[in-house]
Amino acid sequence: MEDAWTFGLAAVLVAWVLLWLWRDRLLISDVEQRHVFVTGCDSGFGNLLCKRLERRGFRVLAGCLTEAGASELRHATGPNLRTCLLDVTDSESVRRAAEWAKEEVGDKEWMQVEDFQSTLRVNMMGVIEVTLAFLPLVKRARGRLVNVASVLGRVGANGGGYCMSKFGVECFSDCLRRDIHYFGVKVCIIEPGFFKTAITSLEPLERELHRLWGQLSAEVRESYGDKYFDDYIKLQRLIMNNLCDPDLSKVTNCMEHALMARYPRTRYSAGWDAKLVWIPLSYTPTFVLDSVLKMMMPRPAHSV
């Protein structure tokens, strides 16, 4: 009986590996209708990738730092490759390249770079700047740093800058902890679930969603559909009205323990939704997490 179970398990494992290898070798079709935007194309990886993709039939949009690099690339490829000058350290150059690509491909989607920058400045860069400013004092006292991230720093559940900023706080805190533990400094990360705060208030959230929806082009709005937007608003209300915990002391209790415990934890999950849903989900394989979020989110009208 034991041999049969072992054989069956081995057969399932082999079948799974073969299926994965088969799926991994399947290629998309209609590449001639697909655009690829590549940066750093004067030389190196970007340059070689452009040449290979153009030979495969893609419509390649290549961003080059210099006109000489762009000219060399155009001469080395065929008519399916277009170039533009792009300095990724220059915001105006990035804006011009995006406008050029938009003319080549289509219109803009929901978020603009300014929407990301405002959130990242507060939630990530603000944390980093304050931490670095006070770090000499903390090192001298062999003290502690307690940074507030979020369960959405473990699970990228939606678009926009919030999840990115919290992933950034997680990464910054992890790296800092490994750098300064030699000096007796402990770094703790608080990962709250959903709580009733000003950030989760429905009125400003819905106002921002309506602003983003209103700035979309007619083509992009049509691709999502009015029903998608209405369903998204309903989902937001469902989460904020039923999932958000009004007991903020669950978060502050974690903060106090991080400051007062002789052996503080590296991470604190505050709230039952964090402990039972979001943190466990963050350990699941990516395809499982994607499937769960896909079931939760509304479906755009022109989805495939």
Catalytic residue annotation: 162
Can you say how many angstroms the Cα of residue 78 is from the centroid of all Cα atoms in its chain?
Answer: 35
Looking at residue 97, its amino acid is: A
Rounded to whole angstroms, the Cα distance separating 153 from 268 reads 13
Q: Are 189 and 173 in contact (CB under 8 A)?
A: yes
Task: Give yes or no for a contact between 258 and 264, defined as CB atoms under 8 angstroms apart.
Answer: yes
- CB 202 within 8 Å of CB 236: yes
The β-bridge partners of 269 are 191
**Which ranges in 25-105 belong to alpha helices (H)?**
44-56, 67-76, 91-105
- Rounded-to-integer distance, Cα 148 and Cα 122, Å: 12
CA distance 191 to 166: 9
CB 159 within 8 A of CB 143: no
Q: Which of 163, 31, 39 is nearest to 98 (CA)?
A: 39
